Each structure stands twice: as C-alpha cells, then as structure tokens.
Chains A and B, each alone.
Chain A
Amino acid sequence: MSDQRKPLLRRPDEYAHCDPLFEELGTLDPSDPRRDELRARLVTELLPLAVHIATRFAGRGEPREDLVQVARIGLINAVDRFDPTRGHDFLSFAVPTIMGEVRRHFRDTGWAVRVPRRLKELHLSLTQGTAELSQRLGRAPTPSELAQHLRLDVDEVREGLLAGNAYQALSVDKPVHDDAETLSLADTIGSEDNDLVMVENHEALQPLLAELPKRERAILVMRFFGGLTQTQIAERVGISQMHVSRLLSQTLELLRGKLTGER
C-alpha cells in the first residue's frame, strides 16, 4: 500500500550505494582527476532515476525521449550541486531538482493550455511569417503586414497574436540551449554595468539578475541594457520574437515580485 503512495521513492535504498560515493566526491580536491570519474559513475548509477521522473511526465504532448534528456540534465545538475554535508539524502534533494527541470521544459516548449489544432497552426504560421518578414523589412512586421503576407484576415492575425501569450512556444521555438547565450551576454555586459549603476535599487537588483536562468538574464540584459529590439534578440538567441516577448514579460514580472518583496 505504502508502495503505491510514493512510487518515486518506492525503494529508498535503491540508490543507497551512491551515498559513500557522494561522500568521497566531497572530500576530493576540485582539481583531482578522480572527481570526473566519480561524477560520471554517480550520474550513470543514477540514470534510472531520471528515466523514472521523465516517465511521470510522459503523455502530456512532449516526446518521451526529450523528457528523458531534460531529466538527465536535471540529474547532472543535482549531482553537481548536492552537498552531503548538509545532512539531506540525495534523493530528497534530486527529485525536486529534476522535476523542476522537466517542468521548466514544459513551460518553455509545451503548451500551457490545450489549444485547438487550428490555433496551433495559426501560431506556427505567424511565427514563421514574422521571421520571414523581419528578415525582409529589417524590423518586426505589423499585424496587417503579416495578414497580407500570410493571406489571412487581419483580425485573425491580431487574435492569433493575443493567443500567442496564452500558450508557450512550439518546437520550432526551441532554444539553442546555452550556447548562443554566453556570447550575446558577453556582447552586452559592458553597457549593463553603466546603466545599472544609474538605478537606485541596483544593489537589490544585481543578485536577482544573477539568480535568473542564463537565457532569461541574457535576454533581459540585451533588451534593457543593450538597447536591442526583441526581433534582434530573437535572431541572436535563435528563438522566435514571440518567445522572446513571453520570456521578457515573465522575467519582468518575476523581478517585480521579488523587488517589491511580494514573494
């Protein structure tokens, strides 16, 4: 019975043999070549955990293989960040970490609400049309330009754009993970410093910026301290303009909440 209740931790001793490995890992000098070896071994031993968690999220519209990949990234992060001296066991630390990573994947690439196929297709053509027209015009197109380009009714385009806020990006929007971002961030970091010191609450802001996921932070910095438009950011990061706009407003909302101490 109790087995049914907590399927994730059905056999808590299943990974117990990893505990001494973690302890050993903690004692090694950061430069010790044995670290990599031990880390790789731990990740390999713990892989079934990632699969297990990914399976829990299967059947929600994202390919299972993708979920497993994402869960594995979460697992690696958990292994890297786990500190056995804090007195927690690895599983109670890793399970929420990995689940968080998978949820984030859904947030980034999945649809937040069930949307009819017609709307998904509309969103897809709007995204592609926007990319094509931006290229041609050198700026973001307007709804009527999009309508003309896609031979759609302009009202339909306007509504489609509004609906674009209700759901998350499609797979065409999938971010080029991490690679693109470091570069763009490096490009703009200088102006960030100058502008940021002008801001009176910058001491409070800086740690919050540092906490943001790399991509969100890069996008925010490019828009508000680097003077780039969303279309230009979209091009650099390799995601759609609509996705940039969603991430930006989510990030602003998050910062607003934290700066005003709401949560």
Chain B
Amino acid sequence: MSADEVLGSQPGMEYEGPDDVPILNVTGELAGEVIELRLPAMAEQIPLIRMLTHGVVARADFGLDAIADAKMAVDEACAQLVQLADLGARLHCRFQPIAGGLCVSVSTTTTEPDPPSERTFGWHVLATLARSVSSHHDALPGETAGVTTIELLLVPGTEAG
C-alpha cells in the first residue's frame, strides 16, 4: 500500500484518519463538510494552507483572536511536518467541523518513525493556540516510511469571558 492510498487519494476511499474521533466523540454525520487540501510538503506552500485556514475558520465565525490563533497553529503544525517530510512527500490538510469547533489534521509521509517532540517551543506554541493537540505516526505496511499526523482541535473562542 502506498502513502497516497493511506492518505486517501483513491476515489471512493475516504481518508478517515486513524484518529479522527478520539479528541471529541464525533460521529460520521459531519463528514460531508470535510475540506481537504493536498500539496507538496514544502515551506513555500504553507501560505496557501494559511489562506484556506482563514477561509474555513472565518466562515465558521470564529472570533478574531481564534481566527489568528488557528492560522498560527496550522502554520506551526505544517512547518513541523515539512521539516520531517520525506523528499517529494505531500502534505495533506484536513479540516473537519465538529460540534463546538474544528478538527484540523495535517499529515505527511516520513521515514522518521518518531512524531514531533512534545517538548519543543514549537509544540508549546501549538498547545497554547489549540484547545488540544496530538501527534502520531502510523507505519505503512511493507514500507520503511510511514504517515506522521498532527491533530489540532480549534475552538471559536466566543464563549463568555
């Protein structure tokens, strides 16, 4: 199985992501609203993801602070993965609206089996900007490379306070 298959580029094979669900108990009903973007895992591409993030969270009517936080968080997650990504790998960004927020998952193929360290400044930034953040690495059967994913739960920041 190739990385692209795991990342869900085949028609009819919806990439569910191994860990879509755990952050909040989301059922599949909202899956129709999933927005995805796939592009080369290169730093030059990140501004494009940033624009899409803006569009998605502004449409979800996040507060202005939360919009800016979301963009910075996605920026950071993408930058971390671009660092780890194998040469020629693609970055897969997936935005899934869930009750009370937005689940963003960014993944790419990496030979390095360890997910990003959770003790870096970059991770501290992610943890500050997102309601929750997690990462995982899934080996691809029969290949040396696997898929590393960072998942962010973003909230609109409009609750009282």
Contacts and interface: CB of A to CB of B under 8 A. Distances in A.
B72 A142 contact: no
Nearest to B51: A162
Nearest to B122: A256
A195 interface: yes
B63 interface: yes
B158 to A, nearest CB: 6
A241 B63 CA distance: 11
Contacts of B61: 142-144
Given A162-B55, A198-B119, A200-B120, A142 B83 contact: no
B100 to A, nearest CB: 14
Interface stretch (A21-29, A95-103, A182-190, A223-231): A223-231
A248 B124 contact: no
A241 B119 contact: no
Given A162-B51, A230-B68, A249-B75, A139 B157 contact: yes
A230 to B, nearest CB: 5
Given A139-B158, A161-B58, A201-B120, A252 B68 contact: no
A259 to B, nearest CB: 7
Nearest to A248: B72
Contact of B124 (A162, A165, A199): A199
A249 B124 contact: no
B76 interface: yes
B15 to A, nearest CB: 27
A231 B65 CA distance: 7
A138 interface: yes
Interface in A160-176: 161-162, 165
Interface string A245-259: 100110011011001
A150 interface: no
Given A158-B58, A229-B65, A260 B83 contact: yes
- Most chain-B CB neighbours within 10 Å: which of A139, A142, A248? A142
B65 A224 contact: no
> Chain A: interface residue count, which band?
35 or more
Interface residues of B, number: 33
A241 B65 contact: yes
A141 B63 contact: yes
A249 B160 CA distance: 26
Given A199-B124, A224-B128, A229-B65, A140 B157 contact: yes
A227 B69 CA distance: 13
Contacts of A140: 63-66, 157
A162 B58 CA distance: 9
A165 B156 CA distance: 20
B62 interface: yes
B121 A202 contact: yes
- Most chain-A CB neighbours within 10 Å: which of B76, B79, B125? B125
CB-based closest 8 A-B pairs? A245-B68, A140-B65, A140-B64, A200-B119, A140-B63, A158-B58, A142-B61, A230-B65
Given A142-B64, A165-B54, 4 more contacts: A139-B160, A199-B119, A199-B121, A227-B128
Interface of B: 51, 54-55, 58-59, 61-69, 71-72, 75-76, 79, 83, 117, 119-122, 124-125, 128, 156-158, 160-161
